[in-house]
A and B are shown apart, each in its own frame.
Chain A
Amino acid sequence: MSALWLALHFPLLALEAEKGPRPEPRVLVRASRVILANPAARAAGVEPGMRLGTARALCDQLEVQEAPAGTENQHQQQALLRQAHQLLALTPQVCPAPPATVLLEVGGCLKLFGGFNALLARVDRYRLHCPLTSRLGIGPTPLAAWHLTDPPALDGTPEASRFQAWLAELPLADLDLDKRLRERLQAPGFRTLGELFPLPRAALGKRFGRDFLDWLQRLLGEKADPRKPIAPPRPFRERLDFDDPLDGLGQLEGPMTRLLTQLEGRLNRQQQSLAAIRWHLHLNNGHRDTLIVRRAHQGHDAATWLDLSQRRLSHHELSAPLLGLSLDGGRPRPRNPGLAELFPDPGARPPLAGLLEKLAGEPALGVYRPDRGDGHLPEENERGRAPLAAAPKDGDNRDNDRDRPLWLLDPPRPLTLRDQVPHWRGRPLTLFPQEERFSQPWHALAARRYRVAHHPDGLCCWVFQDEQHEWWLQGFF
């Protein structure tokens, strides 16, 4: 596996960073001099280096953008970083090289994408959908890729000798070097980079400086050129603002789909998934409503998130018109897909998690999964797990020899006492003589004395007598 680098230059990034490419002529100006002009302005004859007055005379509808004081502005950096994150879909080795270039190491990904041509087709597709004007460079080292832009139509990975030949043809005047160094290089009569190759390296270093020799060796691959790839991006947080405030929640499907598609793309690129997302509804009265949508297991598909979000939203009422919608992706986790079955059972049922997610999102429903608790009293020995919590464990059947009712009353209901006989629904209970004692916690007075009782309606009840000798109904067998 030999290293192969791609360089994506965004030459008009400073102009297009904020609003993307425009068909109108547009220039970037610093100190009344044109620095950058877009193709429409160039077609009208505007060239970088021109005075602003000349440019205005050449082109009537010229839009002028003032360059910020620093060498690069914040918008430009953000736009470059956004492109770098997009390019993580191709390779994990994405190195932004400011001011307007992204370098990619793709030698390790050729097999994944099905060869060099398929990879280039992907890059072309990316450039087609990229909102910025871009130029592609290719080479065996980062610096070579930087310089060898607009490669001819290639059929397979070019050999090292071919790259060497291309580099040799590079004019010294076009190199990305300091202007004075270029003049010093051209002074002895050198025109192309190839004329420097046969010269002894030590002499080159002595004459043109150690930095130039270092640069040349990195360009030719004689010296390592380590680049630091970008770190994984921060959590997904995107906001959409509406031009007109929305009155109803029914119109939110489109914006939600847009945000979720972005989220899905991001998660797929980074092989991550999410267990919960947050929607923030920015209202006209300054308030912000937050809706949390959870899933039983981590997921990344936009369709399920949209379905769950709409279910959650159908129970929400807006107190004011809606100005904006934002999606907070929370903390993504690395995706860990389980082993898929090679031959899935055709009659297999879908897992319970999908149904739980839907039911848990309905506020009108109380869903729980019954589980045994650690309490001592019968009503404390039961607990309901939240639907999206971990599933209760099977096994460990305690108290196998005891008779326990199938139905429990929580809390127990008082029984009326007539002639020393407890009554339920106006009819007397027939008590079993055997008694079982449940000692209470330390702060209570006496133990509960449990008995089984028969009711004339054909019920088998579980009743107890507390310390005040009052009878309570605890459950039915």
Chain B
Amino acid sequence: MPPMPPDFLQPDFLQQLLTRRDTWWGRECADNGQGQSTGFPALDRILVAGGWPEQGLAELLCPLPCPAVLHLLLPLLAGDAPGARLIANPPLRPSAATLAQAGVPLRDLLILRSGDRGALLRACFEAVASDTLRLALLWPPGGPLPASTLRRLHLGAQQGRCLLILVRPCQAGQQPSPAPLRLELDCPSPGKLTVTVRKQPGGRAGQHCDLKILPEHLRRIPPSCIDMPALTRRPRPQPSLEHPLLRLPAPMTAPEVRP
């Protein structure tokens, strides 16, 4: 345990500590029960706010590349709430056709790429603080991401009423972060996602839930055609004569006409 400062119990010191902007107040945290739904009821249940926060920084920790991250955020990207969406430095190219099919308004979507780390972070800060964006997804470029940078991004996102979601590798979970919400993602099998809460304001950590992000026919491998019974061996279906339309009228003998 680090040595405690001698004036720890002084009221001045406590006051100073309480007026710091990064000190969380329990009552305040309990009040913000209004979040935007994640689109996954199981995930909404384990988040105290009932969904994603409206603004500020959130971190997703996952083994990179994690294609499932975008599936998790598709309900958030879709919808007709005002404000633009930004995807910054994605590892691959998000498919516009699939995004449009999922209901993401393409007119409000912007994709940002840069090889220059500083320029990218500056542009992201400016974008989230501009009050234009509603949601920004950032895959941070390689290299250290100091707490001061994260804090600046968090404040910028709060100022611009934007939810900034950082997608970071799992190793980053060991470093402290000013992000109020940290979730750890894991893909045990294709199409399934396990979400574990690492940190959330006003709530407990360690809860987890399993989500199905792909439809059933993509999650399971269908049986091969070779294993299926051949069509020729199937019993030929009998033509049913139950339907009156298909039934032919019985042959009738013509009445004999006599002169």
Q: Which residues of A contact B219 (CB under 8 A)?
A: 460
Tell which of B97, B108, B214 has the most Cβ of chain A within 10 Å. Answer: B97
Q: Give Cα A281 to B167, complex, Å.
A: 43
Asked if B132 and A350 sit within 8 Å, CB to CB, the answer is yes
Among residues of A, the one whose C-beta sits closest to the C-beta of B186 is: A458
Asked if B94 and A458 sit within 8 Å, CB to CB, the answer is no
Q: Is the interface of B mostly helix, strand, loop or mixed?
A: mixed
Q: Give Cα A313 to B119, complex, Å.
A: 15
Asked if A372 and B100 sit within 8 Å, CB to CB, the answer is yes
A387 at the interface (CB under 8 A from B): yes
Among residues of A, the one whose C-beta sits closest to the C-beta of B189 is: A458
Shortest beta-carbon distance from A428 to chain B in Å: 13
Contact with B along A167-209 (1 / 0, CB 8 A): 0000000000000000000000000000000000000000000
Asked if A349 and B132 sit within 8 Å, CB to CB, the answer is yes
Q: Contacts A365-B119, A367-B110, A407-B93 known; A350 to B100 CB distance under 8 Å?
A: no
Asked if B93 and A348 sit within 8 Å, CB to CB, the answer is no
Q: Give Cα A433 to B224, complex, Å.
A: 6
Q: Which residues of B contact A394 (CB under 8 A)?
A: 100, 105-107
Q: Give Cα A409 to B93, complex, Å.
A: 6
Q: Contacts A394-B106, A434-B222, A458-B190 known; A369 to B111 CB distance under 8 Å?
A: yes
Interface 9-residue window, one of B7-15, B33-41, B123-131, B148-156: B123-131
Q: Give Cα A369 to B99, complex, Å.
A: 12
B4 at the interface (CB under 8 A from A): no
Asked if B95 and A351 sit within 8 Å, CB to CB, the answer is no
- Cβ < 8 Å to A, chain B residues 183-225: 186-192, 214-215, 217-219, 221-225
B interface residues, tally (CB under 8 Å)? 62
Interface 9-residue window, one of A81-89, A109-117, A226-234, A396-404: A396-404
Q: Contacting B94 at CB < 8 Å: which of A350, A362, A370, A430?
A: A370
Asked if A354 and B132 sit within 8 Å, CB to CB, the answer is yes
Among residues of A, the one whose C-beta sits closest to the C-beta of B74 is: A406
Asked if B190 and A459 sit within 8 Å, CB to CB, the answer is yes
Q: Contacts A365-B120, A370-B106, A406-B67 known; A382 to B97 CB distance under 8 Å?
A: yes
A interface residues, tally (CB under 8 Å)? 56
Q: Count of A-B contacts with CB under 8 A?
A: 170
Contact with A along B89-116 (1 / 0, CB 8 A): 0111111111111000111111111111
Q: Give Cα A354 to B129, complex, Å.
A: 13
A418 at the interface (CB under 8 A from B): no
Asked if A477 and B67 sit within 8 Å, CB to CB, the answer is yes
Tell which of A352, A384, A454 has the most Cβ of chain B within 10 Å. Answer: A352
Q: Contacts A348-B82, A369-B109, A372-B100 known; A408 to B93 CB distance under 8 Å?
A: yes
Among residues of B, the one whose C-beta sits closest to the C-beta of A379 is: B93
B79 at the interface (CB under 8 A from A): no
Q: Contacts A362-B123, A454-B221 known; A369 to B132 CB distance under 8 Å?
A: no
Shortest beta-carbon distance from A163 to chain B in Å: 58
Q: Contacting B84 at CB < 8 Å: which of A355, A364, A400, A475?
A: A355
- Cβ < 8 Å to B, chain A residues 382-436: 382-384, 387, 391-394, 397-400, 403-410, 430, 432-434
Among residues of A, the one whose C-beta sits closest to the C-beta of B191 is: A460
Q: Give Cα A349 to B108, complex, Å.
A: 12
Q: Which residues of A contact B217 (CB under 8 A)?
A: 403
Asked if A404 and B101 sit within 8 Å, CB to CB, the answer is yes
Q: Which residues of B contact A387 (CB under 8 A)?
A: 110
Q: Contacts A399-B97, A407-B94, A433-B222 known; A364 to B116 CB distance under 8 Å?
A: yes
Contact with B along A251-271 (1 / 0, CB 8 A): 000000000000000000000
Shortest beta-carbon distance from B42 to chain A in Å: 18
A439 at the interface (CB under 8 A from B): no
B172 at the interface (CB under 8 A from A): no
Q: Which residues of B contact A392 (CB under 8 A)?
A: 96, 106-107
Q: Which residues of B contact A400 (CB under 8 A)?
A: 101
Q: Contacts A381-B97, A458-B187 known; A477 to B109 CB distance under 8 Å?
A: no
Asked if B214 and A432 sit within 8 Å, CB to CB, the answer is no
Asked if A364 and B114 sit within 8 Å, CB to CB, the answer is yes
Shortest beta-carbon distance from A382 to chain B in Å: 6
A335 at the interface (CB under 8 A from B): no
Asked if A356 and B221 sit within 8 Å, CB to CB, the answer is no
Asked if A365 and B222 sit within 8 Å, CB to CB, the answer is no
Contact with B along A354-374 (1 / 0, CB 8 A): 111011001011111111100
Given contact pairs A367-B111, A460-B214, a sample of 17 additional A-B residue pairs in the complex whose CB atoms are under 8 Å apart: A355-B130, A355-B132, A356-B110, A365-B113, A365-B116, A365-B120, A365-B123, A369-B109, A369-B110, A370-B106, A382-B95, A387-B110, A391-B106, A405-B95, A430-B221, A455-B190, A477-B190
Top-7 shortest CB links A-B: A458-B187, A370-B96, A476-B67, A364-B119, A460-B190, A364-B116, A391-B107
Residues on B close to A: CB < 8 A?
Answer: 63, 65, 67-68, 70-71, 74, 82-84, 90-101, 105-116, 119-120, 123, 126-127, 130-134, 161, 186-192, 214-215, 217-219, 221-225
Can you pick out 27 interface pairs between chain A and chain B where the beta carbons lie within 8 Å of each other?
A349-B82, A349-B132, A349-B161, A352-B84, A355-B126, A355-B133, A358-B126, A359-B110, A365-B120, A367-B112, A370-B109, A372-B96, A382-B93, A383-B96, A403-B215, A404-B101, A405-B98, A406-B70, A406-B94, A406-B98, A407-B95, A408-B92, A408-B93, A408-B94, A408-B95, A433-B222, A457-B63
